[in-house]
Amino acid sequence: MNPRLKGKNVVITGASSGIGAKMALLCAKSGANVILLARSLDKLEVLKQEIENQFPVAVHVFRLDVSDVSEIQAVFAKILQTVSHVDVLINNAGFGIFDEVEHAKLEDAKAMFDTNVLGLIACTKMVLPGMKQRKSGHIVNIASIAGKLATPKSSVYSASKHAVLGFTNSLRMELDDEGIYVTAVNPGPIETNFFNIADEGGTYVKSLQKFMLSSDDVAEKVVGRIYTRTREINLPRWMNLGDVFYTLFPKLFEKVGKKALFKK
């Protein structure tokens, strides 16, 4: 529960499953009205019914492909007609495909950047004018530990999440005097259907099964920090130590860690 969310309008992209759906439920439990976006309208309708059966809040669902900028503009125009303003935007939509650069498809690389980076930026731009006018708001960007710590076989995915972190850090400074919070979330591997696409062979999941984060735990930590001045949420905390070690001793880290990191 987060009492700061009571009566707020919260937009969540990629809300049809995984941590997106879990965050939607927690926001609604905290008294927020939720606007849920995803490509699967059927799944959103099911989630909408689940939320309305449990909590006395308004729930609005819209089909949105975050890789389509023109669709983002049209859908957010409808959102702003429906709820008048957005208090919180959680940019959760994203996907990855793990492959070595030699075998990576350029169309997959473009799709990852269109969704993970350009789509996130486009959604953010749609809510910024209203937030700046009200001098209030919170933008939460779901990045990845891969955005801080690049690993073999996830070069393009890591690059897209590095871009998300660069954008987020710059945006935070731009909005520092505007009363708008900006938070980056950098989780390690989470038990969701993300790996159905990212790791078709299942080797990565098998290798790191014991280190997988619970989607419930991640959602709870993110929602609990909304409307606080939180720069980053790194999960699990011990995994972030790898980033610190890499920053201080990059050559040693790459030499020692390469074998373990190739488990994808």
| Residue 6 main-chain phi, psi, to 5 deg | -60, 125
Write a three-state SS string for the chain: CCHHHCCCEEEEECCCCHHHHHHHHHHHHCCCEEEEEECCHHHHHHHHHHHHHHCCCCEEEEECCCCCHHHHHHHHHHHHHHHCCCCEEEECCCCCCCECHHHCCHHHHHHHHHHHHHHHHHHHHHHHHHHHHHCCEEEEEECCHHHCCCCCCEHHHHHHHHHHHHHHHHHHHHCCCCCEEEEEEEECCECCCHHHHHCCCCHHHHHHHHHCECHHHHHHHHHHCCCCCCCEEEECHHHHHHHHHHHHCHHHHHHHHHHHHCCC
* Rounded distance between C-alpha atoms, residue 142 and residue 120, angstroms: 10
Catalytic-residue membership of 157: yes
Q: One of 157, 181, 204, 227 is an active-site residue; which one?
A: 157
Query: Which residues are known to be catalytic?
Result: 157
